[in-house]
Chains A and B, each alone.
Chain A
């Protein structure tokens, strides 16, 4: 399974170097959704994530001749999506003062009267609790929990020591645990 996937990416890398549009198309279809989600984990803005993912693919085609087939194309794409997303966040902060409105109103933290945790409510709460995590911790956790990346992959993508990734994820789980306990005791 895994090596089939690696094979495909290797073939696409060579295809891209030869300017083959069908390879480009295949990479788009294989990676768009995952890169969009990753960008969304960082920016939490669907519109921006769509733009960013588009930029990633346009850039990929521009640099196609310099793609190194010995390096993972998939990692390259994640890395580009990450750089563009972080860049977007930096620009947003820089212009935060003249922003007319915030796309992301702060999530509400009202205490609940409800005693029990029904499924819908749980999903909503989960989103809020995950939102509450520090940015880098949330990113590492999302990649591990919802993208199935190994700690090594996350470490190299986020330029962290593998041990730091371990810490982030354990702390993320502890964060959730505290939230659940606070919720149950409310």
Chain B
């Protein structure tokens, strides 16, 4: 494939045409002359676009989604898995599920052991009926979304499971955020007091107050997140918004949950990145306006939400 100003010859059909044209020779000269135009310089953003585009085709995330959404269309393995999951539900202890409403910044729940959990809009936790019943038994909460835990010290370990990580504590306050549907999906753990251990695969990382770690999807190890601003990263509990070099697509998903609205934007906007901080987020239109201005795109209200588009 040629990627330079081309040495392209006169195409045969044009050659024939000019053969009978009164100014044929002069026009042939013009063909030659136009070959002296400078080559189009390759796109300087190509490498960035390449990695962003390949990221959007990340197979792991896709496959997870396929299994949950289109189980029946896929292999017998998936069907068997479905049966196994159904059996586990039927035979295991009953599961309690708490969902935080969309449109509400933060909702607080008390768990059976007295621990409290603050859930961000659209988040969900699940725990078994026997949670906290036995003083020596591990207390396990499964999380999808974002939650801040204030764990009661009972002597039994307390564990938060996400789609790719486990965070274990005794008594402490910390937050976990894990949206498996996000771009560059990851589990982020931020500690505000006490000590916690984050585990993924066989790797365990201990965190002290002010520390944060991330388990990226497809990587079986927690990695330290340096320079996390504790106040900002926990400000969602009091109606704040804080994004640090975050793909715009994830921000839009977050704002959809936060305001219970629908936001649309082309992939080229969703793949851009944004850093944004607001201590007290007001109404949706103001925040969308800020986001659009920060990434240099336009927006307009549509039914049930907003549309972002390129200028």
- In this complex, the member of B50, B266, B309 whose beta carbon has the largest number of chain A beta carbons within 10 angstroms is B266
For the complex, is B40 an interface residue (Cβ under 8 Å from A)? yes
Give A48's nearest chain B residue, CB to CB. Answer: B310
Known: A49-B43, A91-B310, A146-B6. A173 touches B57 (CB 8 A): no
Q: Provide the bound-state CA to CA distance between A5 and B2, in Å.
A: 12
Contact status A37-B40, CB under 8 Å: yes
For the complex, is A63 an interface residue (Cβ under 8 Å from B)? no
For the complex, is A174 an interface residue (Cβ under 8 Å from B)? yes
* CB-defined contacts of B269 to chain A, threshold 8 Å: 51
For the complex, is B226 an interface residue (Cβ under 8 Å from A)? no
**Using an 8 Å CB-CB cutoff, how does the interface string of B17-36 with A read, 1 for contact, 0 for none?**
11001010011011101111
Contact status A145-B31, CB under 8 Å: yes
**Using an 8 Å CB-CB cutoff, how does the interface string of B51-82 with A read, 1 for contact, 0 for none?**
01110111100100000000000000000000
Partner of B271, one of A25, A58, A180: A58
- In this complex, the member of B26, B50, B53 whose beta carbon has the largest number of chain A beta carbons within 10 angstroms is B53
Interface size on B, residues (CB 8 A): 48
For the complex, is A177 an interface residue (Cβ under 8 Å from B)? yes
Q: Provide the bound-state CA to CA distance between A48 and B271, in Å.
A: 14
| Main DSSP-derived SS at the A contact region | helix
Interface size on A, residues (CB 8 A): 55
Contact status B62-A19, CB under 8 Å: yes
Contact status A177-B40, CB under 8 Å: no
* CB-defined contacts of B49 to chain A, threshold 8 Å: 32, 50, 53-54, 57
Known: A46-B43, A49-B43, A148-B2. A54 touches B52 (CB 8 A): yes
Q: Provide the bound-state CA to CA distance between A58 and B94, in Å.
A: 41
For the complex, is A93 an interface residue (Cβ under 8 Å from B)? no
Minimum Cβ distance to chain A for residue B51 (Å): 10
Stretch at the interface among B7-15, B104-112, B208-216, B238-246: B7-15
The 6 lowest CB-CB distance pairs between A and B, nearest first, are: A51-B268, A58-B267, A173-B27, A173-B30, A176-B30, A148-B8
Provide a sorted-by-A list of 21 A–B residue pairs whose CB atoms are within 8 angstroms: A24-B57, A28-B54, A33-B1, A33-B43, A37-B40, A49-B43, A53-B43, A54-B268, A55-B268, A57-B49, A59-B267, A122-B36, A126-B33, A130-B34, A145-B8, A146-B37, A150-B11, A151-B14, A162-B13, A170-B21, A174-B27
- Chain A residues within 8 Å of B, Cβ to Cβ: 5, 19, 21, 24-25, 28-34, 36-37, 40, 46, 48-55, 57-59, 61, 88, 91-92, 95, 99, 119, 122-123, 126-127, 130, 144-148, 150-151, 162, 166, 169-170, 173-174, 176-177, 180
